[in-house]
Structure 1
Amino acid sequence: MGKKEDYERRVEAYLLPLTEEHNFELVDVEYVKEAGNWYLRAYIDKEGSISVDDCEVISRKLGDWLDKEDFISESYILEVSSPGLGRPLKKEKDFIRSMGKDVEVKLYRQMDKQKEFTGVLRAYDDYTVTLSMEDGSELVFKKADIALIRLAFDF
């Protein structure tokens, strides 16, 4: 396991009971480098929606714990936020929640001369995702080929 994965795992292990205590859902934890800066991000959600105050409660407790534990050697920016409407489907609970709904799939490489597909999520397993398309056909995508999958929204 790499350093990035270890950091994410440790932060997730700390946050799971904390978010459950506040009736929040821990959606994801990521440690990423963007534009030369490291970011430690925790995404939380709850029925209805997450408020700035909700994020602040978790951020303060997480920040205090991180200062005490001090296991991340690089300097980083801590962010706690809502995953937003465009949140990716990553975990099984995300796929379960999205069954029967319109999703967008973006591929790393073209399939049938396109990289983006929208359809109804019909099935998934550890290796594939199946969408029902508007024309009634079904497309099966290998998860390894999917760059991003998220709920589709019409605005």
Structure 2
Amino acid sequence: MDKLKIERTVEDIALPVTEQLGYELVDVEFVKEEGEWYLRVYIDKENGVNLDDCANVSRILSDRLDEIDPIDYSYYLEVSSPGLDRPIKKEKDFERFSGRDIKIKLFSPLNGKKVYTGKLKGLEGDMVVFEKAGEEMRINKNLASSIRLNEY
């Protein structure tokens, strides 16, 4: 199973768990670092999450993952807050964070640049609309390797 398929499968498993417990599932990553696999699940709620929230979701999600066993290799499960540089992926994220500063990293340069920053205005179709120095700009979200809040 490839990395993207694992992330989607885990998202399908984690979504009902997080929703049932009153959290928002922000993102799922399956990455290899220093020879070890890590399954990272990012959760949030209105007033932020704490260590107990992460431990609670981790315990229940770990049990569900053990039952279904969607990953063939050994890995470490980590449940955490998305942090200040929270990823913006879902349509509702673009609405929720409209007016906030963002950083867009592209897979390859566009007009000689791979990183764009500005104030998020929203999403129109596949186009991320943001403002930079009073000018409205648009970048197709499919060209972005990541779109994150840029507030630090």
Q: TM-score per shorter chain, which class?
A: 0.7 to 0.9
The aligned counterpart of 2:87 is 88
Identity of aligned residues (%): 48
* Separation (CA, whole Å) in 1 of partners of 2:10 and 2:111: 40
Alignment of 1:26-37 (within 5 A): 26-37=25-36
1:51-82 per-position Cα deviation (integer Å, ceiling 9, x unaligned): 11111011111112222322311111111111
Structure 1: state its 5+ residue gaps.
Answer: none
Name the CA shift for 1:101/1:39 in 2 (closer, same or farther; >3 Å): same
TM-score under structure 2 length normalisation: 0.87
CA positional deviation for 1:91: 1.2
RMSD of Structure 2 on Structure 1 (CA): 1.9
- The answer on 1:139 being equivalent to 2:140 is no
Name the CA shift for 1:71/1:86 in 2 (closer, same or farther; >3 Å): same
* Separation (CA, whole Å) in 2 of partners of 1:123 and 1:55: 30
Q: Give 2:34's aligned amino acid.
A: A
CA positional deviation for 1:45: 0.4
Whether the 8 Å contact between 2:54 and 2:80 is mirrored in structure 1 is yes
* Separation (CA, whole Å) in 2 of partners of 1:64 and 1:121: 38
* Separation (CA, whole Å) in 2 of partners of 1:65 and 1:123: 35
CA positional deviation for 1:152: 1.9
Number of residue pairs the alignment of both structures matches:
152
* Separation (CA, whole Å) in 2 of partners of 1:24 and 1:123: 23
Whether the 8 Å contact between 2:10 and 2:70 is mirrored in structure 1 is no
Whether the 8 Å contact between 2:103 and 2:117 is mirrored in structure 1 is yes
* Separation (CA, whole Å) in 1 of partners of 2:47 and 2:16: 20
Whether the 8 Å contact between 2:127 and 2:138 is mirrored in structure 1 is yes
Whether the 8 Å contact between 2:9 and 2:70 is mirrored in structure 1 is no
